[in-house]
Chain A
Amino acid sequence: MSIVLIILIALAVLVAVYAVVTYNGFIRLRTRADESFSDIEVQLKRRHDLIPNLVETVKGYAAHEKQVFENVTAARSNAVSAKGPQAQGQAENALTGALRQLFAVAEAYPDLKASQNFLELQDEMTDTEDKIQAARRFYNMTVRDLNIKVDQFPSRIIAGMAGVSKRDFFELEDPAEREVTAVSFQSTPASGT
């Protein structure tokens, strides 16, 4: 009788400890996901803030390329007003496309390409885009951990009770995506083989 009671109490304690630990794990992951998402937004905002300046600079040399400027400005305001990982991701992708057009136009103006101001803005833009990628990777890693835990068996019960739900990944096309197509069977000079 008493042994059964002890076993039951021990089991209850174990379950309680598991529940608390799991719950705290969820809170930690959720907070980290929120935090890392706002890190992405900081970088996105930096990108958006650069664009008017960039457009003005290009306008100074290529005033008649109106269509391109309009596209960029429209894509930017869409991106600024988008909410949530999915919508923001799509808007940012559209913005990236518009910016690519802008830089393509700039190619045709040697004076513009040589201007210090433009070079700095371009550099700043590249840096910001790298940082967006970095922040996005951290966010996605966190979301992956969270989503796995929300789906897995015993922890999903706790997730249901605590009201923790899955998050969306932040998808962007990666401008720095390495070109895997360039497979070479030549050895690099450093490999020494």
Chain B
Amino acid sequence: MLLVAGFILLYGGLGFVLSLWLGEAAFFVALGIALLMVIVNMFAGDDLVLAVSGARRLESKDEAPELWRKVENLAITAGLPMPRLYIVPDESPNAFAAGRNPEQAIVAVTSGLLDTLDEEELEGVLAHEMSHVRNYDVRLMTYAAVLAGSIALLANIMLRAMWFGGGNRDGRGNPIVLIAVIASAVLAPIAAIVIQTAISRRREYVADASAVELTRYPQGLASALRSISSNARPSSHLSNGAIAHLMIAAPLGAREKVSTLFSTHPPIEDRIARLDEMAGGVVHQHGQPTAARRAAAAPPT
């Protein structure tokens, strides 16, 4: 709530300075562009994400029965419809959710995830993604991204207008207004990104906690996060900035040891520590990875 208020404040401030300087019309034009971005994102967002990641849709249960069943059962537990399932052909273990509401939700996992995680770990990761769906995080983060983007746009317009000696009204030549314009054009986008990533980090913790509510097995997710972070490889599919904030763990290259004001995910060690605390010291025994188990379970006849 505080974060949303922050955005509104930023908008108001920026809009105020802008209209003081160039007139209200400029502000409304910028707002129109921002609104357009929201609409485009609403309708093209999912496809865009899937196109960027190169995901392939699973059409039927037979293609990956274990994965399908797990998602099906988690959907029942969470009281959600079955999401569409995708597999990203990528060695780096990771997963993400997309879709603006539970009816159109998408859950995607990389093939590396199926090769690395055992049953309970996979369940933890899927529960984390289903929690993003259940909590409408995808929609929230889309809005946050659009808001941050449009604030950057507004700031950009202001800076450009200055080059062309804008300020045709009473604001012209007034040094205080000029300083306010420069300061807000530089600071507002930074502030917007800080807010956006703060929301993102917060939602990750919430999704971890709700995942535990679904599986009642915190050590599964904790162990999965360990595996994911130790097996992470640089990935061309996933390190695209447009989808980094949707991943269960920030893709390699977009990760820092300490959570800074600009990281989309909390430090993975901290997430693991919180999950371990919930587990009360019970350690997960790493079993056979899901993909290997499927090969071994081929009927003997």
Residues of A within 8 A of B (CB): 32, 36, 39, 114-116, 119, 127, 130-131, 133-135, 137-138, 142, 178, 180, 182-192
Contacts and interface: CB of A to CB of B under 8 A. Distances in A.
A101 B214 CA distance: 30
B202 interface: no
A116 B301 CA distance: 7
Nearest to B116: A190
B227 interface: yes
Interface in B171-217: 214, 216-217
26 contacts: A32-B79, A116-B301, A119-B299, A130-B73, A131-B72, A131-B76, A135-B77, A138-B76, A138-B77, A138-B79, A178-B217, A180-B282, A183-B282, A184-B285, A185-B283, A186-B283, A187-B283, A188-B223, A188-B284, A188-B285, A190-B223, A190-B226, A190-B230, A191-B226, A191-B283, A192-B230
A107 to B, nearest CB: 15
A114 B299 CA distance: 8
Contacts of B301: 114-116
Given A184-B283, A187-B283, A188-B283, A134 B77 contact: yes
A141 to B, nearest CB: 8
A137 B77 contact: yes
Contacts of B217: 178
B278 interface: no
Contacts of B283: 183-188, 191
Nearest to A178: B217
A183 B300 CA distance: 34
Contact of A190 (B76, B77, B227, B300): B227
A190 B286 contact: yes
B57 interface: no
A104 to B, nearest CB: 20
B78 interface: yes
A180 B283 CA distance: 10
A150 B129 CA distance: 32
A116 B77 contact: no
Interface string B278-301: 000111111000000000000111
Contacts of B282: 180, 183
Contacts of B227: 190
A182 B286 CA distance: 13
